[in-house]
Structure 1
Amino acid sequence: MSYQLSAVVADAELLREQTAELDHAVLGELRQDFALLPVTPQLVEELTGALPDFSVEAPDADHPFHLVLSPALTDVLAGWSGRGPVAYLEAEFFGGEGYQSAVVWLGGAVSWGPRFDGEFAVARAAWPINSALVELGAEPGPWIDAFAELGLHVERDTAGWLAHGRRRLSADYWDDLADEWEGRQSAG
């Protein structure tokens, strides 16, 4: 099974305020009052006035993102970070192989990262996305890591997050459905 993520994550209210006037912004609700903004080519063009550029090479430590974070795009995200930390997260997995990368802005400048991992030889808490989420203020909870704690596992790709946001689903939507199903099964 594959997994693909290209998104901005920050405090839900911060993202609502910053994207309220954008035509191509769709926010997906996460736990702990965070939200996810899927990064699509249309969104990048709306934010920067130019089409996005993508690296032709596989991401690595020197070039951690498939999406080229142009100066215009990083200026927008850095500007948003004046109201609180903002992260750009990227991941791609297929058949157990893949990578994840993350960077965090705060106060108008990069405050953490960018970090890349394609080996995952360190503890889960040190993986780039988990570490970035902690930098945003994610708190530990009953889930295995910050990624699952916020609910980043509930959709598998950008299209899923767009549908999630358009339907105004919570990160607990699938858990709620499972609880409802279990309740019906035990009542029957």
Structure 2
Amino acid sequence: MSYQLSAVIADAGRLREETRELDHAVVGELRQDFALLPVTPQLVQELTGTPPDYLVEEPGPEHPFTLALSPTLTEVLARWSRHGPLAYVEAEFAGGAGHQAAAVWLGGALAWGPRFDAAFDGPRPQWPINAALSELGVEPGRWIDPFAELGLHVERSTEGWLAHGRRGLSADYWDELADEWETRQ
């Protein structure tokens, strides 16, 4: 099974406020009052005025993101972080192999990262997305790690998160469907 994600994660209210005037912004609800903004080519074009640029080679520690974070795009992320932290995250997996990367902006500047991992041989809390989410203030809970705690496992792709946000679903909707199914049985 594959997984692909390119998104900004931040406080839900602040993310909605920052994106309310954007035509291509779709905010997906996560747990703990966080939200996810899927980063699509259309959104990048709207934010920067230029088409997105993607790496030709595989991402790695030197160039952790598939999406080249242009100076204009990083200025937008920095501006949005003036009132609280936000993370840009990417993940891509297929057949068990893959990578993830994350960076956090706070107070108008890059505050953490970017970090990249394709080996995942360290503790789960040190994996890039988990570590970035901890930087954002995600609290531990009943799920295995911050990634699952927020519900990032609910959708399997950026396109899935677009549909999730457009339908106004919460990150708990799969749990709610399972509970409803069990009640009917």
- If the TM-score is normalised by the length of the shorter chain, which range does it land in? over 0.9
TM-score (norm 1): 0.98
**What's the counterpart of residue 8 of structure 2?**
8
**Secondary structure of 1:42's aligned partner:** helix
**What's the counterpart of residue 84 of structure 2?**
84
Letter in 1 for 2:110: V
Task: After TM superposition, give the deviation of residue 63 of structure 1 in Å.
Answer: 0.4
**Secondary structure of 1:6's aligned partner:** strand
**What's the counterpart of residue 98 of structure 1?**
98
Q: How far apart are the structure 2 equivalents of 1:22 and 1:158?
A: 18
**What's the counterpart of residue 53 of structure 2?**
53
Q: How far apart are the structure 2 equivalents of 1:43 and 1:138?
A: 26
**What's the counterpart of residue 129 of structure 1?**
129
1:29-48 aligned within 5 A: 29-48=29-48
Q: How far apart are the structure 1 equivalents of 2:93 and 2:102?
A: 15
The list of structure 1 runs, each at least 4 consecutive aligned residues, that deviate by more than 6 angstroms after superposition, is none
**What's the counterpart of residue 151 of structure 2?**
151
**Secondary structure of 1:87's aligned partner:** strand
Task: After TM superposition, give the deviation of residue 158 of structure 1 in Å.
Answer: 1.0
TM-score (norm 2): 1.00
Partner deviation per Cα, 1:125-148 (whole Å, 9 max, x = no partner)? 110000000000100000000000
Letter in 2 for 1:112: W
Letter in 2 for 1:48: T
Letter in 2 for 1:46: E
| Alignment root-mean-square deviation, CA | 0.3
Q: How far apart are the structure 2 equivalents of 1:123 and 1:182?
A: 34
Q: Percent identity?
A: 74
Structure 2 gaps of 5+ residues are: none
Q: How far apart are the structure 2 equivalents of 1:30 and 1:94?
A: 24
Letter in 1 for 2:50: A
Structure 1 gaps of 5+ residues are: none
**What's the counterpart of residue 174 of structure 2?**
174
How many equivalent pairs are there? 185
Q: How far apart are the structure 2 equivalents of 1:38 and 1:18?
A: 14
